[in-house]
Structure 1
Amino acid sequence: MAFVPALIVVDLQEDFCPPNGSLAVQGGRDIVPCVNELLSMPFAIKVATKDFHPPDHVSFASNHAPPNNVPFTTVITIRNPLNHDETQESRLWPDHCVQGTKGAELLPELDVDKIHHIVEKGQDKRVEMYSAFADPFVNPTVSRSGLADVLRGSGVTDVFIVGLAADYCVKFTALDAHREGFKTWIVEDGTRAVDPAALPAVYAEYKKLGIGLVGTEDEALLKVKRLGS
């Protein structure tokens, strides 16, 4: 079977990065050189994702009544708006990546001209959507981005993922990529976490599923480079 790799750059946006991001991940901007190096490689398709929330999004602490609306701390129950018997537990966050704001923009130092497709996610105010593929509800799913169809339309076999944050949107994008049937790889140097202490559990889940954790000189990425030779 042919090797057709895709690169997914998850949420490299102003609000997720110092110095001014409302939900800044420590070291978030530091991964850009690694990501730009990957963008220069001959992936069949290169995708960037963006959190792109309406101002009344359910994940914003500001949209909930005190005292149960503490960013980073409060966990709420979200009901599937299409099936109230299905629920998800979700953390509340500061307002971030609101449509039309500076915080929602991709970082200017990112080589955006090398990106083929941009996915805007989290647009349905009723549901959280960490994954670039879909919200977490399954019976039924409320919001799909169409990313799986884009990748299949390009014949993609392998998906390489970088971006922010390693323990949230990168993780859930990876789990969904695996679920969609793509061989999935995380380029560790190209990610940073909200909570680095959470990563051992994330990596253990990857290992159990067969999701690869690789460095920039790993054989899997050298195989991508050789496509251009």
Structure 2
Amino acid sequence: MHSYTRFRLSTGPPGNAIMNAYRLYLSPGACSLAAHIALEETGAPFDVEVVSVRDGQNLDARYLAINPKARVPVLAIPGEPRVLTETPAILTYLARRHPDARLLPLDDPLREARCHEWLAWLVGWVHGVGYGALWRPGRFIGDPALHGAISAHGRGVIDAANATIEATLADGRTWAEPGGHSIVDPFLLVLYRWGGAIGLDMTRHPAWTAHAQREAERPAARRALAREGG
């Protein structure tokens, strides 16, 4: 069983040799959901520690001692003194560490690169620029008088990106990459859910809607979503 705790931070180093399972620090509904789903896909033992970004727990001194960047997700690895941060790094590590989960096409360098191509754009542009500008315009400019314009620009980035995602998925593929399910698909589910959260009618994107339903119905995703409150 995976434990689910409310901001229970360990007193010792998060990655010390005493650990015998992964520990994932996440905020429910955040981008960390992708890593949560990927961990479930691996079948490896792990526990979860909630760091609610909404409640500012990522700025708590105890959490900053674990990740000074004050972001989620963070993955503590058994026997490894340094935690692993940044979604692409965590997803890639899990895919390579657990090849039987088939989270990356490790036997085909080009197909694997296509997955990283997807993820770099989704994380860096759609999340970082689009949702970053929409939700946290202060990251881009300090003048509050300009925050409204920055947020509006972010929404435009999101709208354009959503159209690109829909057009790509509309060729009949089952997953983001035709070769099979990968680390890209959980992150696409994150962005689909965020679209609904900001009031977009995501059913306007039928191919993406079908993809999101397929991803959400996978046993690993169902467990992760249930643990995060749906």
TM-score over 0.5 (shorter chain): no
Query: Structure 1-normalised TM-score?
Result: 0.33
More strand by share: 1
Query: Structure 2-normalised TM-score?
Result: 0.33
